Amino acid sequence: MLTGIKLRANPTSNQKLILSQWMGCARLIWNAKVDEEKYYRTFARKYHPIGTYAPVDQKASQFKSKELTPWLSACPSQIIRNSAVNWYQTYQKFMKGS
């Protein structure tokens, strides 16, 4: 049974720099979503009735600001979107207990 394919990539120094920047952007989005969820959870604990939760979504457009995060403009939108979607799916699995 074929379970995977191993490939070796030999990026140039410029490609290494770009990949490193993209991975940093993905990490920033993931951490921002974690911080956002913590903020909403704290807010809901203080101001919402017991048993209700603040909405958690997979949006990431609010993190792409020309003033605060200008380097995210250079990152492809697919990386930003996939980071938010991966975080959301992981969070949903965590909440379901699986």
Residues in the chain predicted with pLDDT less than 50, given as ranges, are none
- As a whole-number percent, the residues of the chain with pLDDT over 70 amount to 98
DSSP 65-86: -TTT-GGGGGS-HHHHHHHHHH
- pLDDT at position 59 is 78
| Per-residue model confidence (pLDDT) at position 12 | 96
- Look at residue 13 in the predicted model and tell me its pLDDT: 95
* Structure confidence at residue 71 (pLDDT): 87
88 and 58 Cβ atoms separated by less than 8 Å: yes
pTM of the model: 0.79
